[in-house]
Structure formats: C-alpha cells, structure tokens
Structure 1
Amino acid sequence: MSKPASTRKFDEKREAIIHAASVLINDVGVQATTLAEVARAIGLNATSVTYYFPRKEQLVVAVYDETLDLMEQMAAEALAQPDPAARLRHFIASHVALRKRIRGGERGLTTALSEIRTLDPEPYDTLMAHYLRVVELVRRFFGEWRDNAERTLFSARAHILLEAMMWWPIWSLRYSVRDFGRIEERLFDVLAYGLPAKRGRFEPRELAGEWRTGGGGNAGQNEAFLRAATVMINRLGYRGASVNRIAESLNVTKGSFYHHHQAKDDLVLACFKQSYDRMSAAQIAGLELEADYWTRLSSVLAELVDLQFFDSTPLLRTTALQALEADHKSDVVTRSNRLAQRFAGMLIDGIADGSVRAIDPLIAGQMMMSTVNSAYDARHWAARFDDPRDATRIYLSALSEGLLADPR
C-alpha cells in the first residue's frame, strides 16, 4: 500500500534536509554546518528543521547513516556477482558511476565519512557498527576464508579497497567525466593485479634517513605538540582533537600551545607539512638506492606503512582535510598530488627498466597514496603479528600481487 500523503510529505522534506546537510558537510565540515545554514539552503526557517531534527548531531548522524546505507547497497550488489573479479569490477564501476552523477549536478548523494570519529560515543558506536557491516560485505568479495590467516588477508584487502574508493572523489577532480570509462578499467587493473612485472615480488631494502620518531623523550615542545596533535587528530578527528585535549595530553597550558601556533588550523597545517616532509624524505631515500625501480618503490612503501603501523608519530590522516578552510585544503591536496606524482615518476622508470608492469602510473600513484594513508587505521590489525615485517608484507600484498591473487 502507498504511504499517506502526509507521511510522504514528511519523508520528502526530511530527505531534503539530509541532502542539504550532506552538501554543507562536504563543503565546510561538520563544525561549520549549522541548522540555520541547512534551513537557508532549502528555503526553510530553523524552527522547521528542528521539527525533524531537534539537535544538530541527530541530523549529522542521519546524513552519515544515509551514506552508509548507499555504501552497503553498493557492496551488496557487488557481492551478488559470480566471482571475485566480477565483484571488484562491479564495485569500482558503481563508485565511478556515482561520481559521474555528482559531476552531472546531483548533490547530497554521499558524504565524506572523515568526521564520524568526532561524534559522541553512542552515535559513533552505532555508525561504526554500520560501517563494519559494509566491511564484512567487501571482505567476502574475495571468497570464503579457510583459516584465520586468509581472513586476516581479506580484511586488509577490504580495508585498502574501501579506502581507495573513498580517496577516488578527491583525485577524480583532475579528470574529465569523458575519461571516467578509461579510469575505471585502469583502476581495476591496478587493484586486481598489482604493480610489479613479476607478480608477488616484494623485497624491500632498509632506507637511511631521519623520519623516525627519536627515542629518549628529548623532543622540543613544538615537536611534541605536532606529535600529540597528529595522534589525536588521527584518533578523534579535527573537531575531537581540541586545543585543551592536546595541551592536557602534554601536561602543559593552552598558553604554551598559542606560543607556537596562532590557531588550531595552523597546527593542523604544520602536522600536514611534517607528514609530507617525512614522506618526501623517504621517497628521496628510495630514489637513491642502487636497485631497480620496483625495489626502490617497495622499499619506500614498506618504510611508510611501517611508520603508520608502529611509529609513535604516524603520518597525519587526510581525514583532517575536510574541516580546513578551502584555501588551506587546496594547498594540502596540491602537496599530496606532488607526492603521488613522484610515485608515478618512479613507476614510469620501473616500466622502462622492466621491473614494473605496464599500468597507468598516475592512477597507481594515487592508489599508493591511499594505501599508505589508510594504514594508520589498520594499527590494530597489524598488532596481531609477531613479526612487524609480516604485517607490512601482507598489507602491501594488495600492491605487490593485487587483490585477486590466490591466497594460497
């Protein structure tokens, strides 16, 4: 039976409010999104919005829930395909098609999930349970696992694939919609079969450089602020990492913070700069190795993923991007793209020397960036390994042999 007209009207207006909030959150972040701004975007007054969502957090949760519903639907449709290759291809195609619809003018279809961790514990736990249902569907893309080792591998594959699809909207801006069909094919190729000419080859070498956290607790106060802020933003998001919390974690006053940084955004930008400086230093160290280019690349990747898994100062997650002002956000994305382009250049040289197979280096460079970026959130996964090198090797098998490699 069809819904009564009053119920349909209620649902339509509620949906319009959620879509308007989704657009604002994507544009300016959760903190800058207000009920009044949402109301203004759809020609209502604030009182009308509070009839549907008495508190802003309720609206934010509804926005995230709708995006997770869409992700769950896309994952379920992909899982219904007959084999792992078809599932991976379908999943990538659905994300490319979604971005094409957004480019065509549809708004409010999906919201970046980067600020979920800033919510209060109860809504956060509910949304994370929803996200884990999506992870479970994606993990099953690769077949039924026969033991814990295969389940661990499939978990890493699911994590990397989901992060790659969530990073795709950022770098897709550099391409015309007319190129999306080709990108879809090349993206599948990179994720399915990996990068080296000899599939599964992974022999990283140790790199020499100063990007590790020093021991002995002799860091200067500004370095300590950067370390504390990076860890806290990675854990709690931009909004959750308040100046008070950062200062308290170091047992110093807020005045000490403002002695080094005029505002919180300045600290976040300093954290990004430090992280990208460290990534760049590792890349340069890899370039200086006397080896073929896949060995150089795999050495850099192993070093950066190990930093994310085990170093006390990890690299800053790009989840902090969403809350930054547009100018600052653009600067950070530009720096990230430069690092991805350096990876692409190394891949081109690897294709030339025969150590890397013929793939699209620009797309593969972005996959390398998202894989390193997302590794921080796999720290709990990595902690189960007795040998840290096994964690790095298995995680990076997504790039050294591809997501469709036989786990045996």
Structure 2
Amino acid sequence: MARQQERARRTRAAIIRSAAVEFGKSGYAAASLNRILEGSRATKGAMYFHFDSKEDLARAVLETAVDRYRTSAERWLARTDLGALDTLHGMIDEIALRLEHDIIVQAEFRLIIEPDFYRDVQSGGGRIVGRATRVLAVRAIDQGQLRADADPDRFTRTVAAALAGQRYLVDIAGGPVDLRARFQEALEVVVEAMATPEWAEKFRADGWRATARLEELGLGL
C-alpha cells in the first residue's frame, strides 16, 4: 500500500511539473493536455485519476506555487540571526531565484495574468510575500532600521509594486537580465527612503548580510 501511494504521489507530481512547463510556455488557453502527458510520461487515465480537467490541473500548479512561496516566507521569518531588513533582502532574493529557476513559480506568474485566473492573485504567492514584508517592516521599525514614522503598509505596497514592475520589465527587455540585481535595486531604493541614518550608514559600510542560495530551494517536486 505504501509503495502504491508513493507511486501515485510521484505520478501526480510529475503531471504537475509537466503542466507547469506547458502553462509557463504556452499559457492556459493554448496549453495542450497531450504535451503535458508526454512530458510527464503518465497515461491519460492516470491524469484524470488525479485531476478532473485542465482547469483543475492549473489550480494544482497554482497551489503548489503558493506552498513554495509560503515555505520561503516562513523560513526567512523564522531567522533569528539577522535584522529585519537583511531578512527581507534574503526573502526577496529567494523569490527572484525562484522566478528565474523554479518552473512552478514561473507558471504561477504566467497563469495569474490570464483572465481565467485573475481572482487567484488575491490568494497567490504575491499576497504571501506581501504579508511577510509587512511583518518585517514592523520589525524593522522596532529595531530602529526604518524610521519611527515609517508606515508599514505604505512600505509594503511600494516594495510590492517595485518588484512587480521589475518582473514585468524583464519580460519586455527580451534579453538576459539579472532579476536578482533588479529586485535588489528596487528594494534598496525603497528602504533608503525610509531608513534611519544609523542603519543607512551601517549598510553603506557592510552591504546586505543575507542572500539566497539555489541549492536551498528544493526545486524537485
């Protein structure tokens, strides 16, 4: 029984992974179930055992992406060896890495900009990152890194908008662009506008203390 359950889990994961590749490449409407099956090496019967429809499969990809965003946010929020802004930088750097290398997260980004999934933006990965950003903004105020009069909500909205804008600009650029560098640049502009002079002086001397590492992302399904 345990072996059968593990085989079913692996089959489901393979289908989700193949679907993410297809949705990321073709979008939802043009995605081909046949190509998804070919990529997963699963049978049509196996696919319909796990998923009722193409929409059901797309939502499984979205849910898997949300789980990955949640894992990233929770891991960084649990760090006790870093100040709040260094923690925020590490988390955002990890999101950039995922957008560059994680096909599940890449597919989520492609799906939520399509009309069929607009409503999923409200419960997607961006919302998880936004909540974590606000928590860290409050911590940064308490730790004397952001000014006492800084508004956590304003900070969170501005960071989110800056990151989303950079992500879309990368698509428009068409050529190779370092998304991590763009995200870092956007974060620094917002942080420096609200940081205390003491933190800013220390940052100019030391830079960021935390970055993400690709090998820590657990990209295998």
TM-score calculated relative to the size of structure 1 = 0.38
Question: 1:310 aligned to 2:101?
Answer: yes
1:301 aligns with 2:86: no
Please point out which of 111, 117, 122 is paired with 1:333. 122
The C-alpha deviation readout for 1:140-182, integer Å capped at 9, x for no partner, is: xxxxxxxxxxxxxxxxxxxxxxxxxxxxxxxxxxxxxxxxxxx
2:116 paired residue number: 324
Residue in structure 2 matching 1:238, options 1, 20, 28:
28
2: CA distance, partners of 1:248 / 1:375 = 33
Q: Give the structure 1 partner of residue 205 of structure 2.
A: none
1:353 equivalent in alignment to 2:143: yes
Letter of the 2:12 counterpart: N
CA contact (8 A) 1:232 1:246 kept: yes
Change (3 A) 1:240 1:320: same
Distance in 2 (CA, whole Å) between partners of 1:240 and 1:355 is 47
Distance across 2 between alignment mates of 1:375 and 1:251: 35
Matched to 1:306, the amino acid is L
Question: 2:146 & 2:26 partners in 1: Cα distance?
Answer: 38
Where do 1:96-175 residues align within 5 Å?
A: none
How many residues of Structure 1 are paired with residues of Structure 2 in the alignment? 175
How big is the shift at 1:341?
A: 2.4
The residue that corresponds to 1:223 in the other structure is 13
Q: What CA deviation, in whole Å up to 9, does each residue of 1:264-307 have, x standing for no partner?
A: 11111111111111111111111111211111111111111112
- Calculate the aligned-residue CA RMSD, in Å: 3.2
> What is the CA distance between 1:242 and its match in structure 2?
2.1
Shift, 1:350, TM fit = 1.6
Match of 1:116 in 2: none
Query: How far apart are 1:379 and its partner, in Å?
Result: 9.4
Rounded Cα–Cα distance in structure 1 between residues aligned with 2:158 and 2:56: 31
* 8 Å Cα contact 1:293-1:349 kept in structure 2: yes
Bigger mean CA deviation after superposition, 251-260 or 356-365 = 356-365
SS in 2 for 1:363: helix
Q: Which has the higher helix share?
A: 2
| Consecutive unaligned residues in structure 2, runs of 5 or more | 1-8, 191-221
**TM superposition shift of 1:330:** 3.4
Q: 1:291 maps to which residue? A: 82
Equivalent-residue separation in structure 1 for 2:42 and 2:25 (angstroms): 20
Contact 1:317 1:374 in 2 (8 A): no
Aligned position for 2:134 = 344
Q: Is the contact made by 1:308 and 1:375 (CA closer than 8 Å) also made in structure 2?
A: no
Is the deviation greater in 270-279 or in 236-245? 236-245
Matching residue's letter, 1:367: A
> Which protein shows a greater Rg?
1
**Per-residue deviation, residues 340-394 of structure 1 (Å, max 9, x unmatched):** 2232222222233233453513413532662686598489624xxxxxxx76234
User: Where does structure 1 lack aligned partners over 5 or more consecutive residues?
Assistant: 1-218, 383-389, 403-408
**Corresponding position of 2:37:** 247
2-structure distance, mates of 1:274, 1:256: 19
User: Partners of 1:280 and 1:372 in 2: how far apart?
Assistant: 21
Mapped to 2, the partners of 1:303 and 1:365 lie a distance apart of 15
Q: Please, what TM-score do these two structures have when normalized by structure 2?
A: 0.65
Change in 2 beyond 3 A, CA 1:275/1:369: farther
In 2, the alpha carbon distance for the partners of 1:296 and 1:364 equals: 18
Partner of 2:158: 364
Q: Does 2:48 align with 1:258?
A: yes
Distance 1:285 1:376, change over 3 A: farther
Instruction: Please point out which of 260, 278, 282 is paired with 2:68.
Output: 278
Residue 334 of structure 1: CA displacement? 3.1
1:376 & 1:228 partners in 2: Cα distance?
A: 24
1:381 is aligned to 2:167: no
2:119 alignment partner AA: S
